[in-house]
Structure 1
């Protein structure tokens, strides 16, 4: 690509332009189906859910580092240089004192929301407290200049002086000695001031909702503080950070991997499905006017190789750069300075590793959902056309018939209706059996079952000496929860088998067009449970025995664990309920359609008995309906093809590694759709 290197921000524009065109295509599909009377409850729910995913897809990038590594400066350089100044506080020493989450959804007010540090004493999880807006301190960010915005955001750096006892209650002071020097206090504790107090963060968590173009397009930036805050807030390591699509871990190029850096990596970032990137920041500090440039570069390469080997990552995931140099260059429009900062290399790798993957997942979801909706609609159209054809044949056979023959035809329709009602009773019996099985299945996944397992775990921990057997008890509980998921999977598979055989029988014997939906797969829930097990185990070792004896810590641990486990099982319940609803809704819809058909057939024959001219009028109606249904069946394919083309036209990497804009833009889709509509 000619010109200056494109930032990650510019590359994100391509992905979001594609998402906009994709949403426009889906909106046209919904409009087309609604206009043809084909948007029933099943299709509407699936397409609404898909559009929410396309429009609300988030790309979460977490930045993790010990203090004074230049983390906030890196975020400023990568995402907010267009403001003309620093947005996040980035001054010498420790700046970010609490986790800061930056995002934005269209329509919400620009706001800085701050959660007081005292809420740690309650033991409630962050996910619970997000819903209690009255607890947070809210600072409006509307109509602020960039300078005023930066000044307002300095609030996240605020600290307050408390006693050691209060810091202990907040979980920010540990009585455990230094692992390497038993006579010294824990190095994770905040420094003790001359007056005997310690400085702790004033806030537990900060949410920045700001209509920055990148945030509005679905980017979520998580700025986390160092080891003390990360380790003291288990939800960061158990939920927030693992949920990120990428983690950028920042080290100092002059220090390499320090002991505290290694502790953060080993305890919090060494596992999980997220993509991990390592930054060696401040390479400008290695410049030495007394050394040749090639010697300095060799030192940087050596530091990168040592870092990759120490952390156990691929060398191409370690990026030496200077965030301050990059920010300065972008603010000045200095292309050469930006290249010298080496930031574009990190942005290119992030784009290559994350953006195609996000696009591919969305494209796959669109293709699967739209093709499923198309198959569903085509089955409904085929069924309607068959019923329509049967009525037309029946009425054509009534031409020239006398009253006795017409009554016989009406009696035959009544007999068919009675036979259908017997079928309806069988289907209702099937639904009743399905409902009982569904209730038993959902009971096995209920939150109360999870709560009871956590209660039994806590009783087991309390019974162990100094909680030394806590990990064993915890593992046993996880084994029981895995068993609950396995039992639920077995029951789902049994229910699926019953549905398959019953639906095949109904389709064969009564001419329905019922389809079997794919049964829920709990493997993802099992993987999430395994991840929680690995993450929580680190808090249950011998080193944490003293912390487990603290009632406040144990209560927070229990509440957080219960919240996360319930989220896993609630997700499984949602999948089951969605699967069950899809199956029962189509049964109800086709029963209703068939019953309405019998009513129309009988009414038509009754009117024909009363007035001979009614026969030809009804036949004309059926012919016109057949033409409409036939045309609808033909026209749905081009519309579906347009959506699939939009899904397949996601941004791709060019030969130069850049992220290219989509080949089908929203305007092109509108033009193509106009042609389809005209036909």
Structure 2
């Protein structure tokens, strides 16, 4: 069969996914360095209070550990593993992921990088499905996994090791049923029975590949999933991993288009009402099967275009989200440096879609988070500088008022300052009482969002699912659980509103009585976690369809689904709690900073009076010192603006990752 080359408006290569990810990684590394230097500068100038330090820590962790997960999903024999080879591993000049004819990926496989773990392949035995622990717990028990060390410099050894994910076992029908691969009531979905009466099932439940591939080191995580039967049998894959992927690449065969099983995967596991369809790409793979020597390039292209339009219509996507590709020819082209074949494979078009889509959205989200956090950090640090500026202005006014005054007036001034200091010390009891009320209300919020509350909800849901005749009421049981969870979030929001009102009143009173400049921090927005709950509920309700009704009738499967739900809810509630804790720290740190500065202010004022009493020249000297300090505060404020502006303005992809920014040298 001859190769047909054709032209298309979408074949300009642009920046490949690999290049875009390289730029993204360089930007993240550079940003983390700048953030560290900013932290040192803030510490040197005593601007690093608890709230500022916490914001810096979280932002630095976010930038260093940010992951971009791309899930590749397909029914068997669609060329999914070959596509992963072509996009990510062509640099090895051979296949790395197994991609021979037939079923190659028998278990979900995650490729990522953890510097704390040596290069290895870890495999979780399929028998763990018979035990109650969710996948997240198995991840924390490395001794339960079969481990193979990897040599990242030996492509042949890597490829041989990765063949393990294709391994199968042959078990009795009873064992297959217990493992979730055999259902008496839906025989069309069951695997074939061999001549010995045994059923073929995957040998492994999950695979984790840890290698120092350049893209994986920069935070890319690739999730390679098996076909419909395996996806449906593993709840955590469907309701946790795939929904949390930043992008889903769904692979179809170009010659068959959307088959019945393809459509089942799409509707039941990948897309639901309200989902962000823009994060989904569909690949029409194996377009080389249409390269027909008896057809003209124009005829071939017309056939591909028709299949593309039909696929987009069936799946409810924009035509641009359906990309025709030949992964096999793209891999061959990269291995052989064949530019002409690479263009024909259309692989560069897919890479561009990945880079502009996934990386573009990911960078936008990160940059929005960066701008918001840096803005809040700057506000916190600026407030400390304003306190210093105000105290210096008060001292300047006080000292200038002493010019030409006699000793008795100066002595009287000292007595007045000492009395102010005693009165201020007494105010500590009032502030402590306010904090006690604040912490009592805060504990209510922590209880509403805490682990114990969530465990109670999961126990109640499990009990409901075990009730006789529940099969048709499963969706309602889940709906009631999520209604209670949302109500709990609303109560937490109402209580945080009470705390915010109390803080506002207390801060206003302290500002009036003691000349503070306290400003309540922004109240946490817990409503956005309701939206997270909506997404989690939607993925579960979608999973609870008719096709899984039989599985849900099995108590052990229903329990596994509840544990998968608990894993995802834990992440939502931990994020909500972290936001509440940061809000609390911001309020407490602000009060602590002003108390600390006021005590320093009393000390400085008394020291100034003492110097003035000892020498007449002391007054003018002290006024000169305060003037110098005021200029120093102005310079710090300008430097803070410069450093934070620079962090926000650093353009992604336009940094020198190894350069140390001169403007961030410690001032």
Q: TM-score, normalization: structure 2? A: 0.92
Corresponding residue for 2:271?
270
Conserved? CA contact 1:4–1:335, under 8 Å: no
1:38 paired with 2:39, answer no
1:124 aligns with 2:133: yes
- 1:212 paired to 2:203: no
Query: What displacement does 1:101 show?
Result: 0.8
Say whether 1:332 aligns with 2:336.
yes
Query: Which residue in the other structure is 2:460 paired with?
Result: 456
Contact 1:68 1:94 in 2 (8 A): yes
CA 1:41–1:619 in structure 2 vs 1: closer, same or farther (change >3 Å)? same
Separation in structure 2 between the aligned mates of residue 347 and residue 535 of structure 1, nearest angstrom? 28
Q: Which residue number corresponds to residue 520 of structure 1? A: 524
Cα distance in 2 between the residues matched to 1:433 and 1:454: 31
Deviation of the 1:593 alpha carbon:
2.1
Say if 2:326 and 2:345, in contact at 8 Å, map to a contact too: yes
Residue 529 (str. 1) matches residue 533 (str. 2): yes
- Which residue pairs with 2:103 in the alignment? 94
Decide whether the 8 Å contact of 2:181 with 2:233 is kept in 1.
yes
Q: Aligned to 2:56, which of 44, 47, 55?
A: 47
Q: Which has the higher mean CA deviation after the structures are superposed, 328-337 or 296-305?
A: 296-305
Q: Which residue of the partner structure matches residue 181 of structure 1?
A: none
Secondary structure at the residue paired with 2:98? coil
Contact 2:12–2:348 (CA under 8 A) maintained in structure 1: no
Of stretches 421-430 and 309-318 in structure 1, the one that deviates more from structure 2 is: 421-430
- More deviation in 536-545 or 466-475? 536-545
Correspondence for 1:654: none
**Alignment equivalent of 1:157, drawn from 166, 172, 189:** 166
- d(CA) in 2 for partners of 1:31 and 1:577? 24
Distance in 1 between residues matched to 2:578 and 2:638, nearest whole Å: 35
CA positional deviation for 1:421: 3.2
Aligned twin of 2:297: 293
CA distance in 1 between counterparts of 2:194 and 2:623 reads: 94
3-state secondary structure, aligned to 2:561: helix
How is 1:10-25 mapped onto 2 (pairs within 5 angstroms)? 10-25=19-34
Q: Does the CA-based 8 Å contact 1:468-1:541 persist in structure 2?
A: no
2:3 alignment partner in structure 1: none
Contact in 2 for aligned 1:503/1:514 (Cα 8 Å):
yes
SS at match of 2:517: coil
Closer, same or farther: CA 542–18 of 1 in aligned 2, 3 Å: closer
Q: Is 2:551 the counterpart of 1:547?
A: yes
Give 1:360 shift: 1.9
Pairs within 5 Å for 1:362-377: 362-377=366-381
Shift of 1:292: 3.1
Structure 1's 204 and 594: CA in aligned 2 closer, same or farther, altered over 3 A? same
Q: How far off its partner does 1:78 sit?
A: 0.5
Give the superposition deviation at 1:13: 1.9
Task: Give the number of aligned pairs.
Answer: 655
In structure 1, C-alpha distance between the alignment counterparts of 2:64 and 2:300, rounded to whole Å: 47
Counterpart residue number, 2:5: none
CA–CA distance in 2 between the matches of 1:418 and 1:34? 30
Indicate if the aligned counterparts of 2:334 and 2:342 stay in contact, CA closer than 8 A: yes
Cα 1:396–1:294 shift into 2, 3 Å: closer
* Partner SS state of residue 243, structure 2: coil
Give the Å deviation of 1:438.
0.7
Residue correspondence of structure 1 range 24-423 to structure 2 within 5 A: 24-106=33-115, 108-142=117-151, 144-177=153-186, 185-187=187-189, 189-271=190-272, 272-273=275-276, 275-395=279-399, 404-423=408-427
Distance 2:114 2:595 in 1: 41
Q: Is the 8 Å Cα contact of residues 464 and 470 (structure 1) preserved in structure 2?
A: no
| C-alpha separation in 2, matches of 1:666 and 1:459 | 54
CA distance in 2, matches of 1:419, 1:231: 69
Task: Tell me how far apart the structure 1 counterparts of residues 663 and 574 of structure 2 sit (CA, whole Å).
Answer: 42
Deviation digits for residues 377-430 of structure 1 (CA, Å, limit 9, x no counterpart): 222112113223433544555567666444422221122123323543333222
Q: Is 2:152–2:158's contact at 8 Å kept on the other side of the alignment?
A: no
Structure 1 residues 558-611: Cα deviation after superposition (integer angstroms, max 9, x where no partner): 322233333322322222122112211211221122123223433554576577
Q: TM-score, normalised by structure 1?
A: 0.90
Is it true that 1:631 corresponds to 2:635 in the alignment? yes
CA distance in 2, matches of 1:531, 1:139: 37
CA distance in 2, matches of 1:137, 1:107: 18
Query: What displacement does 1:239 show?
Result: 1.0
CA contact (8 A) 1:99 1:206 kept: yes
Residues of 2 paired with 1:2 and 1:443: CA distance? Answer: 55
Report the CA distance shift for 1:533/1:369 in structure 2 as closer, same or farther (over 3 A): closer
Deviation, structure 1 residue 622: 4.3
Asked if 2 retains the 8 angstrom alpha-carbon contact of 1:492 and 1:519, the reply is yes
What residue number does 1:656 align with? none
Q: Confirm or deny: 8 A CA contact 2:371 2:648 kept in the other structure.
A: yes
Report the Cα offset of residue 463 of structure 1: 3.2
Residues 68 and 542 of structure 1: CA distance in aligned 2, closer, same or farther (over 3 Å) = closer
Pick closer, same or farther for the CA change 1:375–1:567 going to 2, 3 Å.
Answer: closer
Do the aligned partners of residues 5 and 388 (structure 1) sit closer, same or farther apart at CA in structure 2, a change above 3 Å counting? closer
Secondary structure class of the residue paired with 2:160: helix
Residues 254 and 307 in structure 2, CA contact (< 8 A), matched pair in contact too: yes
Structure 1 residues 304 and 539, CA, compared in 2 at 3 Å: closer, same or farther?
A: closer
In structure 1, what is the Cα distance between the partners aligned to 2:291 and 2:627?
84
Mapped to 2, the partners of 1:152 and 1:543 lie a distance apart of 35
How far apart are the structure 1 equivalents of 2:458 and 2:253?
Answer: 41
Match of 1:580 in 2: 584
State the distance in 1 between where 2:547 and 2:176 align: 20
Superposition map of 1:482-497 within 5 A: 482-497=486-501
1:270-314 per-residue CA deviation (whole Å, 9 max, x = no partner) reads: 123361111111111122333333323222222112211111111
Alpha-carbon distance, 1:143 to partner = 5.5
Give distance in 2, aligned partners of 1:3 and 1:299: 21
Unaligned segments of structure 2, at least 5 residues: 1-9
Alignment CA distance shift 1:230-1:19 (3 Å): same
Distance 1:404 1:571 in 2: 60
Change (3 A) 1:120 1:407: same
Q: 1:667 & 1:534 partners in 2: Cα distance?
A: 44
1:440 correspondence with 2:427: no
Please give the alpha-carbon distance, in whole angstroms, between the structure 1 residues aligned to 2:541 and 2:507. Answer: 46
Indicate yes or no: 2:597 matched with 1:593: yes
| Superimposed CA distance per residue, residues 606-629 of structure 1 (whole angstroms, 9 cap, x where no aligned partner) | 576577787677666545544433
Tell me how far apart the structure 2 counterparts of residues 669 and 357 of structure 1 sit (CA, whole Å): 28
CA contact (8 A) 1:63 1:71 kept: yes
